[in-house]
Chain A
Amino acid sequence: MITAEQKPLNEIIAYISPYDRILLVGCNECVTVCSAGGRKEVGLLASALNLHFLKQGRTIDIKEMTLERQCDPEYVEELVSEIDRADAILSMACGCGVQTIAERYKEKPVFPAVNTKFMGASESQGVWVERCKGCGDCMLGITGGICPVARCSKHLLNGPCGGTSNGMCEISPDVECAWCLIWERLKALGMENRYEEIMEAKDWRPAGGGGPRKIIREDLSL
């Protein structure tokens, strides 16, 4: 899923201060799962903003809404009935959601309330870790299901660098060396020969090096 973290309140407050009527929009997908921008967080942020502005002697009207998915135009359409009553929109979705709203409601300023972080997996409750860079050419099949692009600090493709130490990466004693993990995994699977295959220089165009990416499924498009 896409992970996100709420922005510092000061930044959010600075965005919305010039406006009196705010439409605060959450998303029921990834940001709900990582507790950054779901219905609950929308309520909490609305409450915090109310506390802030009331303390300043000012009341602002915050309308809370949480859409099923903010990155789909069909769901973003549900804001139509509320949009006229808002001076600005504060989105708690990832960057995709913010942009979908901005594209649909061109006449309203849209501000992000979260920082979109990475594509991650839940390691344990309340802990999310980066597991995919979306490189567009998945190599997990040859690296034992452990991604060197996402998990090696240098994105190395042919074994570890000299910075590996006792299975950990030189950038931090808390970061595991992806290539040590890959080697151990291949060994456990009896697939050590995979390690010896030299990977050619990666084509980074599908990873975004060729500009913004797009998927077109002609069988699905209308």
Chain B
Amino acid sequence: MENFEPEIVAFCCHYCAYTAADMAGSKRISYPSNVKIIRIPCTGKVDAIHIMKALEKGADGVYVAGCLEGDCHFKNGNTRARHRVEYVQKYLEELGWEPERVAMMNMSAGMGEFFARTALEFTQKIKQLGPNPIKHMNINKNQKAVS
């Protein structure tokens, strides 16, 4: 468990979190390489099924990072995303999984430090939770959430 390096999928909005990650890079602020970013046009595009599939394919944690509340480039995509994340959390709870494995975050494009800090905090949280409970099931490499 001590050597456990989680695989974390981060769905990042092109207009904020993705740019924030870029800014973290430009400022040479490091964040854990466990976090694998998937750029999306808006967090409103992330559906519950995307989060579930990531977990099903072995991701230890998944988070959706969108614009600050009220600042969505497409008006309310981030609010929709938050509702979907909460829906998945309830679903996981019903299944006996830790709902903390999925999270919603909000940030602006200029918040590079914040992106790095939340990536670190989330990674630490997932390290505490331990590996995805189905990881031991030899998930086919082609089907992995992060390859």
Using a CB–CB cutoff of 8 Å, the interface residues on chain A facing chain B are 8-10, 40, 43-44, 47-48, 50-52, 54-55, 57, 59
Q: Are B95 and A59 in contact (CB under 8 A)?
A: no
Number of interface residues of B (CB under 8 A): 17
- By beta carbon, the residue of chain B nearest A52 is B95
Listed by A's residue number, 20 A-B pairs whose Cβ atoms lie within 8 Å are: A8-B94, A10-B94, A40-B49, A44-B48, A44-B52, A47-B49, A47-B52, A47-B56, A48-B52, A51-B55, A51-B134, A52-B96, A54-B56, A54-B133, A54-B134, A54-B137, A55-B95, A55-B97, A57-B136, A59-B137
Check if B121 is an interface residue, CB within 8 A of chain A. Answer: no
| Docked-complex contact A55 and B96, CB < 8 angstroms | yes
Nearest neighbor of B97 in chain A, beta-carbon distance:
A51
B residues whose Cβ falls under 8 Å from a Cβ of A = 47-49, 52-53, 55-56, 91-92, 94-97, 133-134, 136-137
- A48 touching B95 by the CB < 8 A rule? yes
Query: Which chain A positions have C-beta within 8 A of B96?
Result: 52, 55
Verify A50–B56 contact, CB threshold 8 A: yes
Indicate if the CB atoms of A47 and B97 lie closer than 8 Å: no
Given known contacts A9-B94, A51-B95, is B52 in contact with A57 (CB within 8 Å)? no
Partner of B134, one of A40, A44, A55: A55
CA distance A30 to B134 in the complex (A): 34
A164 to B53, CA, bound (A): 49
* B26: min CB distance to chain A, Å: 37
Contact of A55 among B49, B53, B94, B133 (CB under 8 A): B133
CB atoms of A44 and B49 under 8 A apart: yes
Q: Is the CB of B49 within 8 A of A9?
A: no
Residues of A within 8 Å of B49, CB to CB, are 40, 43-44, 47
Name which residue of chain A comes closest to B137, CB basis.
Answer: A54
